[in-house]
A and B are shown apart, each in its own frame.
Chain A
Amino acid sequence: MRTLYQFHGGIHPPGNKAQSTQCGITRVPLPSRLVIPFRQHAGEAAKPAVQAGEHVLKGQLIGMPCGFVSSAVHASTSGTIAAIDAQPIAHPSGMPDLCATLIPDGKEEWFPHEAVDYRNSDPADLRQRLRMAGVVGLGGAGFPSDLKLRFLRLHPSQKIDTLILNGAECEPYITCDDMLMRERAAEIVQGAEMLRFILDAGEVLVAIEDNKPQAITAMRQAVTESKLPFEVVVVPTIYPGGSAKQLIRVLTGLEVPSGKLPTDIGVQCFNVATVYSAYRALAQGELLLSRIVTITGNVRHAQNFEVLLGTPVQELVALGEALPDTDRYIMGGPMMGVELASLAVPLVKAGNCIIAASGKLFPPAPPTLPCIRCTRCAQVCPADLQPMDLYWFAQSREFGKAQAFSLFDCIECGACSYVCPSHIPLVQYFQFAKSEIRARAQEKQAADHARERHEFREYRIEREKQEKAEKLAAKEQAIRQSRAAATPANPVPGPAIQPEIQAAIERAKAQAATVEPKNTDNPTPQQLAEIAGIEAQRERVRDLAKSAVEHTNGHDKN
């Protein structure tokens, strides 16, 4: 029996998982239209690799990974790309993002793909395959999996002692990982072996919360059949026990230091659904085109479906038969999910659950009261923070202090908001403060960049000025030198040229003497009168000026 540890805090919200585990995973019929966002993962959006009007096959690359933290996006089925434009997506802002609209042709024609023998492959090659297969974390964060496998190049001395398969699924209502483990345990175990191979990890632990007995049995059986030295560990049901850092603490007793990654303490953690998709990508060459989604909440048929990525949520809601009093929909769990702005929003890689919500199911929170500093939030915080202080700093916009109180260690699990007797939306404050701090850091970076460019420009202008001056000086110097060199070295042209010049000057003088200005010859009496008038005027002005000078001089003397 393995010794388990505890993390600080945690809550026990009602599980509500039984509704959606009554029947197995069902495939969803092909929808009439798929909307595939180019940003389904953390990091940079994929770059469109197809054009509107193009015919694509199932699994054909339509979005090229762009940048270090990025992943590929593929056509979920064969058909025609109708448009590449901004469409509504599941995002707290409700803003649209770049998506490809795919009209399926119903043939499900596959793009050529092949399996790989991972044991005889280079891990770098396998990582690249996962990147191009679009495998990202399916637990909710959507972080590209190949990057979680490549850390070894950054820290060659660090070895991964423990690879954890996260099947805890701690958030209420969600059962997609539970059903996946029940039905496809063997594939998950094979996938875990592949990831262990790539990471060269030590032990492999499969963590499952004790509220999933069937999944535990299935996984244990699969591990036994595979004869691999994996261990299925049953962990107590507590929210947020499925969060990577908290799960690592429970299994190993180690705490991931603030601002560090699990790999820094020799642990790596993957969601079971991610492991399953990695298995499909490597062992069958099948890319990440579909995922298991729980449709639950205020619906008649709560169930798990295998859904093609890009399927509009309204098709899924129709399958679950949402009850008429449903007033909103949530993608993800009730604690951390995103409320959907519209039902046209497509299902994405990170979308593990669709909850139909109604006032009866999730009663509106009672009016908020002032914080009384009861510290219940601090008692349940799994990151061991002081949410009441963070709240105080966030609401007064003292971001520096919030950061000093480790705001960025907050995992936004919502446990503090859940227990707050004053019903303060604490997580919203933390999200607000985090995004403000990030925006400021970006602005600061932009300002520093601008300063650098401005300073360089000034330096460049100064340099150009100097260069010009130097060039001019050099030229003058050269002329002076050539003159100085010319006079003593070439005495021959001197006397030869000198008389010529003298002759020219004399010629000009003689010409000036012989030619008289013609405009003064024979002036008419009228012109003479005008000239006399002007002369008189000049005389008067001269007298005036003289008297004025005398006057001021006399004045000064007085």
Chain B
Amino acid sequence: MLSALLVMAGIAIVLGAVLGYSAIKFRVEGNPLVDKIDAILPQTQCGQCGYPGCRPYAAAIASGEADINLCPPGGEEGIHKLADLLGVEFKPFGGNTAIKPKSVAFIDENVCIGCTLCIQACPVDAIVGAAKQMHTIIASECTGCELCVAPCPVDCISMVPIREKITTWKWKYPVYSLAPAK
């Protein structure tokens, strides 16, 4: 009886020590799930999901606060990928804003007064300019988040949808009708 108790207690102490040691030794900094979710999000940093950027939204999904269907730039495909990753059912888009075609911001340089408000708003530093100097968008860096549109006091920023070019053209899904059964 006593020997059995001692053996069990001994095992418990040894295992407890192993677990305690590994908890310190193999501690994971941050939540790896957040990184995985963040890798799927489109990184426009637009805040249309209601969180101040893609990473906060990823953190909110990981903690179960936010739904997976709030990201407009990610579109349906992004929701599918998140559903696959998290092992949950796909949900149709449920955010407050509509899914829009991919765009880049454009500054009407004749109207721009050089107030630098858009530069401060841009999450990816895609606007060049200085105080009282004309500003312009670096189109290749612009993620189309629209965060610069609202702060502009003279409304000189518009969103221009990206047109399909010969270099970005994609083969379409083949469409044909099957032969009718006789």
Contacts and interface: CB of A to CB of B under 8 A. Distances in A.
B7 interface: no
A453 B141 contact: yes
Given A366-B179, A450-B45, A454-B43, A429 B174 contact: yes
A66 B165 CA distance: 18
Contacts of B171: 92, 428, 431-432, 434-436
Nearest to B102: A443
A39 B141 CA distance: 25
B26 interface: no
A428 B45 CA distance: 36
Contacts of A448: 43
Contact of B166 (A97, A425, A449, A453): A97
B27 interface: no
A169 to B, nearest CB: 26
B125 A457 contact: yes
Contact of B172 (A97, A432, A453, A457): A432
B124 A454 contact: yes
A451 B176 contact: no
A451 B179 contact: no
A44 B115 CA distance: 38
Interface residues of A, number: 33
Given A368-B178, A429-B174, A432-B171, A450 B166 contact: no
Contacts of A453: 124-126, 141
Contacts of B164: 95
Nearest to A367: B179
Nearest to B42: A447
Interface in A208-230: none
B146 interface: no
A368 B179 contact: yes
A93 B141 CA distance: 27
Contacts, number: 77
A93 B53 contact: no
A260 B64 CA distance: 44
A363 interface: no
B177 A368 contact: yes
B43 A457 contact: no
Contacts of B126: 453
Contact of B169 (A39, A95, A450, A457): A95
A432 B176 CA distance: 14
Interface residue SS majority, chain A: helix
B123 A439 contact: no
Interface in B124-182: 124-126, 141, 143, 164-166, 168-174, 176-180
B25 to A, nearest CB: 28
A97 B165 CA distance: 9
A249 interface: no
A376 interface: no
Interface residues of B, number: 29
A91 B42 contact: no
Contact of B43 (A97, A431, A436, A450): A450
Contacts of A91: 166, 169
Interface in A426-468: 428-429, 431-432, 434-436, 439, 443, 446-451, 453-454, 456-457
Contacts of A368: 176-179
A555 B111 CA distance: 66
Nearest to A456: B125
A554 interface: no
Contacts of B178: 367-370
Interface string A84-99: 0000010111011100
B2 to A, nearest CB: 59
Contacts of A429: 174
B173 A432 contact: yes
Nearest to B38: A451
Contacts of B54: 451, 454
A450 B176 CA distance: 39
Nearest to B173: A432
B141 to A, nearest CB: 7
B116 to A, nearest CB: 14
Contacts of A428: 171, 174
A96 B163 CA distance: 13
Interface in B25-44: 38, 41-44
Nearest to A366: B179
A454 B174 contact: no
A491 B177 CA distance: 102
Given A428-B174, A450-B143, A457 B166 contact: no
A446 B139 CA distance: 12
A259 B158 CA distance: 43
A425 B141 contact: no
Given A439-B168, A457-B125, A432 B43 contact: no
A447 B143 CA distance: 8
A435 B170 contact: yes
Contact of A457 (B124, B165, B170): B124
Nearest to A370: B178
Closest CB pairs A-B (n = 10):
A367-B179, A450-B43, A447-B43, A431-B171, A453-B124, A428-B174, A93-B169, A435-B170, A432-B171, A451-B43
16 contacts: A91-B166, A91-B169, A95-B164, A367-B176, A367-B180, A369-B178, A369-B179, A425-B174, A428-B171, A429-B174, A434-B171, A439-B170, A450-B42, A450-B143, A453-B125, A454-B54
Given A91-B169, A439-B170, A453-B126, 14 more contacts: A95-B165, A367-B176, A368-B178, A369-B179, A428-B171, A435-B171, A446-B43, A448-B43, A450-B43, A451-B38, A451-B54, A453-B124, A453-B125, A454-B123
Interface of A: 39, 89, 91-93, 95-97, 366-370, 425, 428-429, 431-432, 434-436, 439, 443, 446-451, 453-454, 456-457
